[in-house]
Amino acid sequence: MRRAVLLVSLLVVAACARERVNPMLASGEHRLAVHGGSIWYKVTNLSNGHRAAVVLLHGGPGFNSFYLKPLEDLADDRPVIRYDQLGAGKSDTTSDTTMFNIAHFVAELDSLRAHLGVERWHVYGHSWGTILALEYYRAHPDRVLSLGFGSPVFDLPAFETYVRGLLPTLSDSAQRAIRRGEATQTYDSPSYQNAFNEFIGLYVTRHPVPADMESTFTTVNQGIYMYMQGPSEFTIVGTLKLYKVTDFLPSIGVPALLTVGEFDEVGPDLVRSHAALIPGARFELIPGAGHLTSWDNREVNTRVVREFLRGADSSVATR
């Protein structure tokens, strides 16, 4: 009799667990209407388990989430939400500069959360996505379980100084092309673009898959990138040029992970110094990788993020 009661209890618990599965987090591709157009998003959920979802915020601004696709490997643990910010990728394009600002992208991200019916989620950003992740946390700290910062850029002036320090490692012809392009403010010449590509091969992605590279760069919105960043990684003239939030980092009150590639354009030592400002933050150097760690060392990058998220789940459960 006791065993029968126990069995019934277990069945009830299992049934309740099934009912708690959020149908909006079933695997699939969708679109969501937001201010200014519609955005594309994809949910990958291979486990149908109950670990908290993680949302992936791509870099740029104006790029797309394709290069973050390797992190969908995390979907055997939890729902993974990957989306393209308005203006680029598979989302609607736009040239409206009134939406090329942090506040717009923070509101857009929270629209996605509300649409999916997620109360709190893990937020993982890469490059410009780390700015978006941090600013989202500042606006909605109660909706964030943890923060993952891949190749973070919390001090654009310091980042620019570091990147400019890498230019002497380029070929003489590339250095001349950069000086000429910046002096004349003409950045679309073949020589400047070749110099940009040389820099990318050393410090952005060292082991790209050509087809993936093409898929990523064919849907870039250069208008957003130019407006907020500039014509390249090393010529920063956009609205983010003076962005610096190091004073806020000690105020982060959720588990935080900071990763950086061994040859990353953002500078391992700079990222390490920012990690030291965040209480209890975990710092990880991804060996052999440039800026796009999800491409250059997929196995280690995914393992590090997976371990961090599991640890953050445990931290939340014990609070």
Establish if 291 belongs to a structural domain.
yes
- Tell me: cis bond preceding 255? Omega within 30 of 0 counts: no
Q: Which residues are catalytic?
A: 127, 264, 291
pLDDT in tens, 171-200: 999 999 999 999 999 998 999 999 999 999
% of the chain with per-residue pLDDT over 90? 83
Say yes or no to pLDDT of 127 above 50: yes
Say yes or no to pLDDT of 6 above 70: no
Establish if 178 belongs to a structural domain.
yes
Establish if 3 belongs to a structural domain.
no
pLDDT in tens, 9-64: 444 344 344 446 688 999 999 999 999 999 999 999 988 767 999 999 999 999 99
Work out the mean pLDDT of the chain and round it to a whole number. 92
pLDDT in tens, 138-153: 999 999 999 999 999 9
Note the pLDDT of residue 20: 61
pLDDT in tens, 53-86: 999 999 999 999 999 999 999 999 999 999 999 9
Establish if 16 belongs to a structural domain.
no
DSSP line for 41-99: EEEE-SS---SPPEEEE--TTT--SGGGGGGGGGGGTS-EEEEPPTTSTTSPP---GGG
Domain that residue 164 falls in:
22-317
The structure tokens listed for 272 are: 């390490």
The total number of residues written for the chain in this structure: 319
The set of residues, in sequence order, having a beta carbon less than 8 Å from that of 49 and lying 6+ positions away, is 77, 78
Instruction: Judge whether 123 and 148 are in contact, CB under 8 Å.
Output: yes
Specify the amino acid at residue 235: T
Say yes or no to pLDDT of 7 above 60: no
Say yes or no to pLDDT of 8 above 50: no
The CA distance from 53 to 61, in Å, is: 23
Establish if 5 belongs to a structural domain.
no
- Count of structural domains within the chain: 1
CATH number, domain of 81, equals 3.40.50.1820
Establish if 9 belongs to a structural domain.
no
Lowest mean pLDDT among 84-88, 208-212, 310-314: 208-212
Residue with tokens 């393209």: 84
The CA distance from 244 to 315, in Å, is: 29
Note the pLDDT of residue 16: 40
Report the run of H or E that residue 146 belongs to, with start and end. Answer: strand 144-150
The set of residues, in sequence order, having a beta carbon less than 8 Å from that of 260 and lying 6+ positions away, is 150, 151, 152, 266, 267, 268, 271, 272, 284, 285, 286, 293
Establish if 201 belongs to a structural domain.
yes
Note the pLDDT of residue 18: 42
Between strands 80-83 and 54-57, the pairing is parallel
Note the pLDDT of residue 315: 78
Exposed, middle or buried, 85 (CB in 10 Å: 0-12/13-18/19+)? buried
Report the run of H or E that residue 256 belongs to, with start and end. Answer: strand 256-261
Q: How far is CA 64 from the centre of its chain?
A: 10
- What backbone torsions phi and psi does residue 274 show, to the nearest 5 degrees? -70, -35
pLDDT in tens, 90-107: 999 999 999 999 999 999
